[in-house]
Chains A and B, each alone.
Chain A
Amino acid sequence: MANFFPKSANTLPAKLLIILGVLTVTVVAGVTYYFTPKYTRVGYMPTQPVAYNHYLHAEQLGIDCRYCHTYVDQSGHANVPDAATCMNCHSYVKSDSPQLEPIRVSYETGEPVEWVRVHAMPDYVFFNHAVHVNRGVSCVDCHGNVNEMEVVWHDKPMSMAWCLDCHRNPEEHIRPLEHVYDLNWTPENAEAHAEWAREHVVSWNVNPPQSCSGCHR
């Protein structure tokens, strides 16, 4: 019986192994980026029924976050403002603008304005705004510089790994309480702030839960 296979077949297995190795590395790298919240959630910027511009209101007009998200420091849920809050000003300012039609309709008829939800936790996760906001964690740490966004987009991956990272090193994310709603605030010099933060994590006993009962119930 003669040789079934050509001589080149002898080097084939080595080549196959190399190809296989390269293939697995690319697939794993692709999955770790494209199939995780770093990609699937960051950058999600849906068009809202009313083109509300945070940059104009929060940054330029300097409206504080709590004017609209009134109960962020009292309830676990940071409420989206009701039509009445918008109409406080917009019954006078741009009271005929076509963009604000849905607000006016909602204000009269009582039908809610269907804002598209940008940041959403799965149903088995119970995130509480009040306890974060009152303990030194600012809006910017999770929502990014919303005050500079003309249309709100999903800035942080908000995966469990991301939350755990902050729960394990709270000292990197707390700031003096008075600056919580000042999204542009940056510490004068980083080391002093880092030292301050470590001291205050201890003095305020900021010990965020790392076990499941913290967020899952």
Chain B
Amino acid sequence: MDTSNTASSPAARKPYGMLALFDSAPGIYEAARTVREAGYSRWDALTPFPVHGLDGAMGLGRSKVPVFVFIGGVIGFFVGMWLAWWMGYYNYPLIVGGKPYFSPIFPFPVAYELTILLAAFGALGGMFVCNRLPMHNHPVFNYEKFRHLTDDMFAVVIEAEDPLYDAEGTRTFLEELGPVEVTALYDDEEDDA
């Protein structure tokens, strides 16, 4: 049951944390709730699809992405309006079709589109920033059954830096949750990091 990745000798690498593998959504849901109640803070649940209610079970707050979206939208709107004003009224006023040099009506579509454009960039950018992606190298990838985590299996990972973490205690704690298996994960030390 206790397998650890033998890619490289255990002594040379820094332990990263302890992973418990589950094969059903209710299982991961219960496990997450108990880990949260156990007081762990530096831990995460890996699921192939967004499990409904898991956020509540892990006690996560609201995501920060809406802030980025709002900022992007506001900037977009004012950039759009300012463009039409600066170009049509301030820099080069031209009489076109008997319309005023500037009015908030005709540049509205442009401002509206820029609002959505920058808000969308805010959304995607915000998601990447909040998730600190792209992070192509991560210790959790060293787990040799990792391909199941994005297919049909679920996992709870408790990191070594967590104050409550200790090699044995956390392993036994995880085994009580009825996982398929529990494995220790090691971070492969890179000289230049």
Contact = CB atoms under 8 A, between A and B. Distances in A.
B136 A9 contact: yes
Interface in B133-166: 134-138, 141-142, 144, 146-147
Query: Main SS of chain B's interface residues?
Result: loop
Nearest to B128: A13
B7 interface: yes
Contacts of A9: 136-137
Interface residues of A, number: 14
Contacts of A211: 94-95
Interface in B64-118: 92-95
A10 B136 CA distance: 6
A7 B193 contact: yes
* Chain A interface, DSSP helix/strand/loop, else mixed: loop
Contacts of A1: 141, 144, 146-147
A116 to B, nearest CB: 34
A163 to B, nearest CB: 13
B188 interface: yes
Interface residues on B, range: 10 to 19
Given A164-B92, A211-B94, A211-B95, A3 B138 contact: yes
Contacts of B141: 1-3
A74 to B, nearest CB: 32
A8 interface: yes
Given A1-B144, A10-B135, A164-B92, 17 more contacts: A1-B141, A1-B146, A2-B7, A2-B142, A3-B138, A3-B142, A3-B188, A4-B136, A5-B137, A6-B190, A7-B190, A8-B190, A9-B136, A10-B134, A10-B137, A211-B94, A211-B95
